[in-house]
C-alpha cells in the first residue's frame, strides 16, 4: 500500500519482475494483518505515526547514503507535505481506523479500488488520460465490485461498521488523488526522494496528531505488537517502496499496478489463518468483479481475446 500508479502503457514482464511483484504483493498483503495486530495495544494515530516515522528513517538513510539529489525549490518541499498527507497520513489513518471494526480481508478488497479510482481521477486531471470506452467499462465494473463487497445497505445504514468500510474507500480515494498530485508536481524528482519527502511531510502531521489524540506512547507493548509495528514501518512501507520502484524500473508502472490484484488474496488468507476471519460470500464476488474491472482497464486480456477488434474500444 502506497504510491499507486494508474495502469497505462504496458511492457513485457520478465520472470524476475513477476517474482518481485509477488513478493511486493505478499508484503503489502501482510500489512493489513499487522495493522490489526498493532491496534490491540496501540492507538490508531500512534500506529500510523510509528509506521511513518520508522519508514522515514530508513528511506532518508537510503537517500543520504546514495547521495541522491534533493530539490532546491521550496515549492517541492511544500508539495511533499501535501503528498504525504494524501499518500500516507490520510489513507494510513483511515485504513487503521476501519480495521477496528471490519475484517482485514475486506479492508484489502476495498483498498483494491485504488487502481480503479486512480484511472477515474487521472481522466479528470490529465488530457492524455482520457476515459475511453474500455476504461469506463472497467471503472463501472470495479465500482459494481465495491458495492457488492460492502453491500448495498451501506448506502443508507451509517453504523460504525458501514462507516469503517467507507473509511477504507476514503483511503483508496486519497491514494488516487495522491497519484495524480505526484504526477503533476514531482516531475524530474527521484522516486526514492519523493517517497522520503512525502514521509517527512506525513510525519510532521501525524506525530503531533498522535500525541494529542493518543497521548505519549507507553512503549510497554508485547513482542507481537512490536513485530507488527516494525513490519509496518520497515517492511511494508520503506522496504515496499524501494521494491516497488525496482519493479517499476523493470516492468513499467502499468505492470507494477497489477500488484493490486494479488494483495487482497494474500490479506484474505492471512486474516483467515491467523485471525480466523470469515468473509461473506459477497466479498469474494465483489473482489472478482473488481479484479475483472482492473483487467479490463489494463486492456491486455481483452486484446488477447478479441484481437484487433478490441482497438475500437481502446
pLDDT tens readout for residues 89-112: 999 999 999 999 999 999 999 998
pTM for the predicted model, two decimal places? 0.89
Provide mean pLDDT across the span 208-217: 96
**Domain for residue 264, yes or no?**
yes
What whole-number distance in Å separates Cα of residue 30 and Cα of residue 283? 19
In which band, very low, low, confident or very high, does the pLDDT at 134 lie, cut at 50, 70 and 90? confident
Number of folded domains that form the chain = 1
Quote the domain boundaries for residue 287.
15-313
**Domain for residue 294, yes or no?**
yes
**Domain for residue 10, yes or no?**
no
Q: Which residues contact 179 (CB under 8 A, 6 or more apart)?
A: 3, 4, 5, 6, 118, 121, 122
**Domain for residue 9, yes or no?**
no
In which band, very low, low, confident or very high, does the pLDDT at 27 lie, cut at 50, 70 and 90? very high
**Domain for residue 7, yes or no?**
no
**Domain for residue 30, yes or no?**
yes
Rg for the chain (alpha carbons), in Å?
Answer: 19
Q: What is the pLDDT of residue 8?
A: 43
**Domain for residue 2, yes or no?**
no
> 178 near 67, Cβ under 8 Å?
no
**Domain for residue 75, yes or no?**
yes
Report which of 146, 95, 102, 139 is spatially closest to residue 287, judged by C-alpha positions. Answer: 146
Amino acid at each position: 500500500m502506497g504510491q499507486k500508479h494508474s495502469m497505462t502503457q504496458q511492457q513485457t514482464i520478465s520472470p524476475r519482475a513477476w517474482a518481485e511483484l509477488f513478493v511486493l504483493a505478499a508484503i503489502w498483503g501482510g500489512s493489513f494483518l499487522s495493522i490489526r495486530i498493532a491496534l490491540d495495544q496501540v492507538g490508531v494515530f500512534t500506529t500510523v505515526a510509528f509506521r511513518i516515522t520508522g519508514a522515514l528513517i530508513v528511506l532518508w538513510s537510503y537517500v543520504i547514503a546514495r547521495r541522491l539529489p534533493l530539490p532546491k525549490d521550496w515549492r517541492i518541499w511544500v508539495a511533499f507535505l501535501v503528498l504525504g498527507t494524501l499518500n500516507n497520513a490520510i489513507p494510513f489513518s483511515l485504513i487503521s481506523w476501519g480495521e477496528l471494526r471490519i475484517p482485514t480481508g475486506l479492508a484489502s478488497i476495498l483498498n483494491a479500488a485504488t487502481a480503479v479510482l486512480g484511472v477515474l481521477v487521472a481522466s479528470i486531471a490529465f488530457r492524455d488520460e482520457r476515459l475511453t470506452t474500455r476504461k469506463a467499462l472497467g471503472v463501472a465494473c470495479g465500482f459494481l465490485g465495491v458495492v457488492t463487497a460492502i453491500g448495498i445497505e451501506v448506502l443508507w445504514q451509517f453504523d460504525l461498521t458501514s462507516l469503517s468500510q467507507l473509511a477504507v474507500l476514503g483511503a483508496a480515494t486519497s491514494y488516487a488523488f495522491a497519484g495524480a498530485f505526484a504526477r503533476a508536481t514531482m516531475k524530474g524528482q527521484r522516486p526514492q526522494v519523493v517517497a522520503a519527502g512525502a514521509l517527512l511531510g506525513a510525519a510532521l502531521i501525524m506525530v503531533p496528531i498522535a500525541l494529542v489524540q493518543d497521548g505519549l506512547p507507553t512503549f510497554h507493548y508485547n513482542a507481537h505488537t512490536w513485530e507488527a509495528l516494525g513490519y509496518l514501518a520497515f517492511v511494508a512501507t520503506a522496504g515496499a517502496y524501494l521494491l516497488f520502484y525496482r519493479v517499476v524500473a523493470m516492468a513499467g508502472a502499468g505492470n507494477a499496478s497489477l500488484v493490486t490484484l494479488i494483495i487482497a488474496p494474500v490479506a484474505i488468507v492471512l486474516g483467515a489463518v491467523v485471525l480466523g476471519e470469515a468473509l461473506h460470500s459477497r466479498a469474494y464476488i465483489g473482489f472478482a468483479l473488481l479484479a475483472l474491472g482492473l483487467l479490463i482497464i489494463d486492456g491486455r486480456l481483452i486484446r488477447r481475446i478479441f484481437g484487433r477488434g478490441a482497438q475500437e474500444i481502446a
